[in-house]
Structure 1
Amino acid sequence: MKLRTLTLGLLSASTLAFAAHAESITIATVNNGDMVRMQKLTDDFTKANPDIQLNWVTLEENVLRERVTTDIATKGGQYDVMTIGTYEVPIWAKQSWLLPLDKLGDDYDAKDIIPAIAGGLSVDGKLYAAPFYGESSFVMYRKDLMEKAGLKMPDAPTWDFIKQAADKMTDRANGVNGVCLRGKAGWGENMAFLTAMSNSFGARWFDENWKPQFDQPEWKKTLQFYVDLMKADGPEGASSNGFNENLALFQQGKCGMWIDATVAASFVSDPKNSTVADKVGYALAPDNGLGKRGNWLWAWSLAIPAGTQKADAAEKFVSWATSKHYAELVASKEGWANVPPGTRSSLYANPEYQKAAPFAKMTLDSINAADPTHPTVKPVPYVGVQFVAIPEFQGLGTTVGQLFSAALAGQSSVDDALKQAQDASTAAMTEGGYIK
Structure 2
Amino acid sequence: MKLKSALYAVSALVSVTATATIAEELTIATVNNSDMIIMQKLSPQWEEATGNTLNWVVLEENVLRQRVTTDIATDGGSFDIVTIGAYEAPIWGAQDWLVGLDDLGDDYDYDDIFEPVRNGLSADGTLYAVPFYAESSFTFYRKDLFDAAGIELPDEQMTYDDFAEIVAQLHDPDNGVFGTCQRGKAGWGENMAFVGPLVNAFGGKWFDMDWNPTIDSPEWNAAITYYVDLMNNYGPPGATANGHNENRALFADGKCATWVDATSAAGYIFNPSESSVADKTDFFQAPKQVTDKGTGWFWAWALAIPTSSKNQDAAKDFLAWATSKEYVELVGESEGWVAAPPGTRKSTYANEAYLEAAPFAETVENSILAANPADATKDPVPYTGVQFVAIPEFQGIGNYVGQQISAALAGQQTVDEALANSQRFAEREMTKAGYIK
Residue aligning to 1:97: 97
Larger radius of gyration: 1
- Structure 2 counterparts to residues 16-415 of structure 1, below 5 A: 21-50=22-51, 52-154=52-154, 156-415=157-416
Q: Distance in 2 between matches of 1:196 and 1:321?
A: 30
Q: Shift of residue 287 of structure 1?
A: 0.6
Q: Shift of residue 149 of structure 1?
A: 1.8
Equivalent pair of 1:185/1:402 in contact (CA under 8 Å): yes
Q: Shift of residue 82 of structure 1?
A: 0.5
Three-state SS of the structure 1 residue aligned to 2:70 is helix
Q: Distance in 2 between matches of 1:147 and 1:121?
A: 41
Equivalent pair of 2:130/2:323 in contact (CA under 8 Å): yes
Q: Distance in 2 between matches of 1:161 and 1:116?
A: 31
Q: Shift of residue 361 of structure 1?
A: 1.1
Q: Distance in 1 between matches of 2:107 and 2:159?
A: 43
Residue aligning to 2:11: none
Residue aligning to 1:17: none
Q: Distance in 2 between matches of 1:138 and 1:197?
A: 12
Residue aligning to 1:16: none
Q: Distance in 1 between matches of 2:274 and 2:357?
A: 16
Q: Which structure 1 residue ranges, 5 or more long, are not aligned? A: 1-19
Equivalent pair of 1:197/1:295 in contact (CA under 8 Å): no
Number of matched pairs: 416
Partner deviation per Cα, 1:217-265 (whole Å, 9 max, x = no partner): 1101100111111111111011110000001100110000000000111
TM-score after normalising by structure 2: 0.93
Q: Shift of residue 302 of structure 1?
A: 0.3
- Give structure 1 regions of 4+ aligned residues with deviation exceeding 3 angstroms: none
- Which range is displaced more, 256-265 or 144-153? 144-153
Residue aligning to 2:9: none
Partner deviation per Cα, 1:23-75 (whole Å, 9 max, x = no partner): 1111110000110110000122122212x111111000000000010001100
Q: Distance in 1 between matches of 2:294 and 2:172?
A: 28
Q: Distance in 1 between matches of 2:394 and 2:55?
A: 30
Q: Shift of residue 289 of structure 1?
A: 4.5
Q: Distance in 2 between matches of 1:352 and 1:366?
A: 21
TM-score after normalising by structure 1: 0.94
Opposite residue 324 of structure 1, the aligned amino acid is K
Opposite residue 93 of structure 1, the aligned amino acid is G
Opposite residue 122 of structure 1, the aligned amino acid is S
Q: Which structure 2 residue ranges, 5 or more long, are not aligned? A: 1-20
Q: Distance in 1 between matches of 2:152 and 2:322?
A: 40
The root-mean-square deviation of aligned C-alpha atoms, in Å, is 1.2
Q: Distance in 2 between matches of 1:63 and 1:276?
A: 30
Opposite residue 144 of structure 1, the aligned amino acid is D
Partner deviation per Cα, 1:117-138 (whole Å, 9 max, x = no partner): 1110112222110001101111
Q: Distance in 1 between matches of 2:436 and 2:23?
A: 52
Equivalent pair of 2:29/2:56 in contact (CA under 8 Å): yes
Opposite residue 133 of structure 2, the aligned amino acid is Y
